């Protein structure tokens, strides 16, 4: 995790670094720091958020510097462990995102050679290695130092007397915003968008020298040409736009995100779906990989692919797949990761490739690490998602699965016709649900009183229950678990009391009768029952205490509408509890450590 920035230009670096770091807080926010190069290297760092550090700084006019916002992996959040880290002589400062797996070995050797370490971090070895190999040229010192590093890194290095900064990446992202008499290095695009919309995306192994007027990229000792991409979304899309939290804004952006993801893929006249993905020839099964919400999207994807296409599909948590001994024969592996940077998903996709599998990534970030790993990419078009809890990126991942399944050769016309029509209507249905969020807000405020909650669903709405519970726990800190409704009697029934509300996601599909039987069993244990139900479903009122009615849709598409309702429920519960919704404790949006 962690966010890094570097500035070199004609303005005062400190306010720009702080402003850019603020935009990267979604990557980690337990401590932060900056280093500025003036007559000396000045380092300011502390535990806590960027705003708190900013109040302690005075702009000193230095026009070159680096900064970091941290999500602790090695050593607790503390001032000493915060980046930037410096070498013994105080000539070099380094910020790092990633994990150096051989740091203990390197540290032991460096200590024997007389280096003194201050922090518990893996990153500090970089500063000492650069000091060790520096003979007057910072770029070559960085290059040599990196040859000793095992693991992953995105780094920016500042030298006391050097009019440029040096940046490098391996398995963690670095972009360079190219401005007029200024350049800004960062982990992600929102950090530079206030200054420029021209961005160079570095590739693994790149080392770039960034000065006020130029960017020079080398890889494997050879100079490289890297295109400058023009970013089409503007910074307002990464701002709150009048909403109290990014999460609420992003929930409300879902009608647009759905429409954008479907744009150009559907033809209703003659039912055709073309998401621009070539289904590999001769595949016999599909493997879906993901983490967190993206994993829940894969679980829904499995239902969609098996029902519409009839192809055997299995899902695996990417973090577990990396330790498994999978057998892949004529398997198409699809990795789902909104950020395109989740370390576990990247490792799992690499493994699948090594085992000879064709690979596809479903991601929201153009140019992210996953895009370079796989044979093909499907881009969800959600726009930037800032809030740690995934909302619109999750919903558009579901869109990707519907499109993929419907574009499969030989899919039955009956699915194509009805579903294509219904997919086209989904965006306005979600909008209709959002227009009536006040009812859900009341239920959310009510839920906020409890310390535990269970979410239950069956069939395609079982993963929806998992996702609903994940949303609630991560942003409201209410302990919540999702269960397949039929499983409650195998243990969780013991938890049912009037103090344990149950949120029941009621489908109108083949699971209906059994689901109602499960609901009756829950009711008999006196737990408060809240149903999320299709607006046509009047029968459900007999079984539960309260109902959130959602726009009616084809059952196969109901996870979209139901998930949006559950996002709002979690949001309003968290709001009633006064939680820091966009930046929940201990979490980060982009999890670049395995
Ligand atoms: C983090 C985020 C989650 C996300 C998960 C997977 O835990 O907080 O919202 O679902 O990572 O991220 P990915 O970028 O791979 O979808």
Q: With bands split at pLDDT 50, 70 and 90, how would you rate the model's confidence at 245?
A: very high
Q: Residue 412's CB: how many other CB atoms inside 10 A?
A: 10
Minimum mean pLDDT among 125-129, 230-234, 299-303: which range? 230-234
3-state secondary structure 465-516: HHHHHHHHHHHHCCEEEEEEHHHHHHCHHHHCCCCCCEEEEECCCCCHHHHH
Of the pLDDT bands very low, low, confident and very high (cuts 50, 70, 90), residue 117 is very high
Give the whole-angstrom CA distance, residue 217 versus residue 228: 12
Ligand 1 centroid–CA 341 distance in Å is: 9
The angle at the Cα of 71, spanning 68 to 75, to the nearest 5 degrees, equals 100
Q: Look at residue 56 and tell me whether its pLDDT is greater than 80.
A: yes
Task: Output the residue whose Cα is nearest ligand 1's atom 2.
Answer: 589
Rounded to an integer, the average pLDDT of 358-367 is 90
The more confident residue out of 59 and 428 is 428
Spatial distance between the Cα atoms of 246 and 393, rounded to a whole number of angstroms: 13
Report which ligand 1 atom has the smallest distance to the Cα of 345.
Answer: 15
**Residue partners of 538: CB distance under 8 A and separation at least 6:** none
- For residues 594 and 319, the answer to whether their CB atoms sit within 8 Å is yes
Atom number, ligand 1, closest to the C-alpha of residue 291: 6
Q: Are 328 and 288 in contact (CB under 8 A)?
A: no
Which is higher by pLDDT, 236 or 338? 338
Of ligand 1's atoms, which has the minimum distance to the CA of residue 397? Answer: 16
Question: How far does the centroid of ligand 1 lie from the alpha carbon of residue 201, in Å?
Answer: 21
Q: Is 1 helix (H, G, I), strand (E, B) or coil?
A: coil
CA-nearest residue, atom 4 of ligand 1:
292
- Which amino acid residue places its CA nearest to atom 8 of ligand 1? 589
Q: What pLDDT score was predicted for residue 57?
A: 87
Query: Taking a C-beta distance cutoff of 8 angstroms, is the pair 69, 25 a contact?
Result: yes
The whole-number pLDDT of residue 585 equals 86
Residue 190: partners with Cβ closer than 8 Å, 6 or more residues away: 23, 24, 235, 238, 384, 386
- pLDDT tier, 209 (very low <50, low <70, confident <90, very high otherwise): very high
- Indicate the average pLDDT of the chain: 92
- Which residue has its alpha carbon closest to ligand 1 atom 13? 337
**d(C-alpha 443, C-alpha 438), whole Å:** 9
Choosing from 291, 298, 571, 587 the residue with most ligand 1 atoms within 8 A of its CB, the one to mutate for a pocket test is 291
Query: Helical H runs in 100-159?
Result: 103-112, 124-133, 138-147
Handedness of CA 58, 60, 63, 64 (dihedral sign): negative
Share of the chain above pLDDT 70, in %: 98
pLDDT value of position 59: 67
Mean pLDDT over 196-214 rounds to 95
- Report the phi/psi class of residue 292: left, alpha or beta, with left for phi > 0 and alpha for psi in -120 to 50: left
Q: How many CB atoms lie within 10 A of CB 406?
A: 23
Which atom number of ligand 1 is nearest to the Cα of residue 388?
8
Q: Comparing C-alpha atoms, which of 61, 59, 13, 341 is closest to residue 195?
A: 13
Inter-residue contact 200 to 217 (CB < 8 Å): yes
Stretch 344-364: mean pLDDT, rounded? Answer: 96
pLDDT at 236: 64
pLDDT the model gives residue 30: 84
Other CB atoms within a 10 A radius of the CB of residue 374 amount to 23
Q: In whole angstroms, what separates CA 411 from the centre of its chain?
A: 32
Q: How far is 19 from 277, CA to CA, in rounded Å?
A: 39
The pLDDT value given to residue 329: 86
461 CA to centre of ligand 1 in angstroms: 20
Cis before 563 (ω within 30) = no
Could you list the active site residues?
Answer: 2, 589
Residues 388 and 292 sit within 8 Å (Cβ to Cβ)? no
Distance in angstroms (rounded) separating the CA atoms of residues 121 and 99: 9
**Is a pLDDT exceeding 70 seen at residue 268?**
no
Q: What are the C-alpha distances in Å from 585 to residues 148, 354, 560, 578?
A: 34, 37, 27, 13
CA 349 to ligand 1 centroid distance, Å: 16
Residues in CB range of 404: below 8 A, 6 or more apart: 275, 277, 279, 301, 305, 334, 378
The three-point CA angle 152-157-162 to 5° equals 155
Chain segment 455-486, per-residue pLDDT in tens: 999 999 999 999 999 999 999 999 999 999 98
Q: How many helices (H) and strands (E) does the chain have?
A: 16, 27
Q: Angle 292-304/392-406 helices, nearest 10 degrees?
A: 30
Q: What is the pLDDT of residues 289-338, one digit of tens each?
A: 999 999 999 999 999 999 999 999 999 999 999 888 888 889 999 999 99
Which pLDDT score, from 0 to 100, does residue 238 have?
Answer: 64
Closest-CA residue to 44 (of 82, 6, 89, 98): 82
Distance (angstroms) between ligand 1 centre and the Cα of 74 equals 21
Residue 424, H or E segment:
helix 413-435
- Ligand 1 pocket by C-beta < 6 Å: which residues? 291-294, 337-339, 342, 345, 388-390, 587, 589, 591
Q: Return d(Cα 153, Cα 253) in angstroms, integer.
A: 33
Contact 21, 5 (CB under 8 A): yes
534-578 per-position pLDDT tens digit: 999 989 999 999 999 999 999 999 999 999 999 999 999 999 999
Residue 241 has pLDDT above 70, yes or no: no
């Amino acid at each position: 995790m962690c966010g890094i920035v570097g500035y070199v230009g004609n303005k005062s670096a400190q306010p720009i670094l702080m402003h850019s770091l603020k935009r990267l807080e979604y990557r980690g926010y337990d401590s932060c720091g900056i280093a500025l190069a003036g007559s000396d290297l000045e380092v300011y760092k502390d535990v806590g958020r960027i705003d708190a550090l900013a109040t302690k700084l005075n702009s000193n006019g230095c026009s070159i510097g680096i900064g970091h916002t941290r999500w602790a992996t090695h050593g607790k959040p503390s001032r000493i462990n915060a980046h930037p880290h410096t070498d013994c002589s105080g000539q070099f400062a380094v910020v790092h995102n990633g994990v150096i797996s051989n740091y203990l070995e390197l540290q032991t050797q460096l200590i024997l050679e007389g280096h003194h370490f201050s922090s518990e971090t893996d990153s500090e070895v970089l500063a000492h290695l650069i000091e060790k190999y520096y003979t007057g040229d910072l770029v070559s010192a960085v290059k040599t130092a990196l040859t000793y590093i095992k693991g992953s890194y995105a780094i920016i290095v500042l030298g006391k007397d050097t009019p440029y900064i040096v940046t490098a990446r391996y398995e963690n992202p670095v972009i360079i915003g190219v401005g007029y008499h200024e350049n800004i290095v960062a982990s992600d695009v929102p950090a530079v968008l206030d200054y420029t919309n021209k961005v160079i995306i570095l590739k693994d192994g790149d080392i770039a020298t960034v000065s006020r007027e130029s960017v020079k990229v080398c890889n494997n000792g050879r100079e490289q040409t890297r295109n400058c991409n023009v970013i089409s979304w503007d910074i307002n899309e990464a701002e709150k736009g009048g909403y109290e939290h990014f999460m609420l804004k992003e929930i409300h952006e879902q009608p647009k995100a759905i429409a954008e993801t479907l744009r150009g893929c559907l033809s209703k006249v003659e039912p055709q779906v073309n998401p621009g993905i070539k289904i590999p020839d001769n595949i016999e099964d599909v493997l879906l990989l993901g983490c967190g919400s993206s994993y829940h999207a894969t679980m829904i994807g499995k239902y969609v692919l098996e029902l519409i296409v009839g192809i055997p599909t299995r899902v695996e948590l990417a973090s577990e797949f990396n330790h498994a001994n999978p057998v892949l024969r004529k398997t198409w592996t699809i990795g789902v990761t909104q950020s395109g940077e989740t370390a576990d998903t990247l490792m799992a996709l690499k493994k699948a490739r090594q085992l000879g599998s064709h690979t596809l990534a479903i991601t929201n970030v153009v140019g992210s690490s996953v895009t370079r790993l796989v044979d093909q990419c499907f881009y969800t078009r959600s726009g930037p998602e800032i809030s740690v809890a995934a909302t619109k990126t999750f919903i558009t991942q579901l869109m990707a699965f519907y499109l993929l399944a419907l574009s499969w050769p030989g899919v039955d016309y009956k699915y194509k016709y009805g579903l294509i029509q219904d997919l086209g209507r989904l965006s306005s249905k979600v909008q209709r649900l959002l227009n009536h969020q006040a009812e859900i807000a009341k239920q959310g405020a009510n839920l906020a009183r409890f310390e535990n909650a269970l979410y239950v669903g069956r069939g395609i709405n079982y993963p929806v229950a998992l996702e609903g519970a994940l949303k609630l726990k991560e942003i409201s800190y209410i302990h919540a678990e999702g269960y397949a409704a039929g499983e409650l009697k195998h243990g969780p029934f013991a938890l049912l009391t009037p103090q344990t509300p149950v949120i029941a996601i009621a489908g109108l599909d083949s699971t209906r009768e059994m689901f109602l039987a499960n609901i009756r069993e829950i009711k008999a244990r006196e737990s408060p029952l809240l149903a999320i139900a299709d607006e046509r479903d009047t029968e459900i009122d007999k079984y539960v205490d309260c109902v959130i009615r959602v726009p009616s849709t084809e059952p196969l598409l109901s996870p979209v509408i139901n998930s949006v309702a559950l996002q709002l429920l979690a949001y309003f519960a968290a709001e009633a509890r006064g939680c820091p919704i966009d930046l929940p404790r201990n979490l980060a949006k982009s999890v670049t450590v395995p």
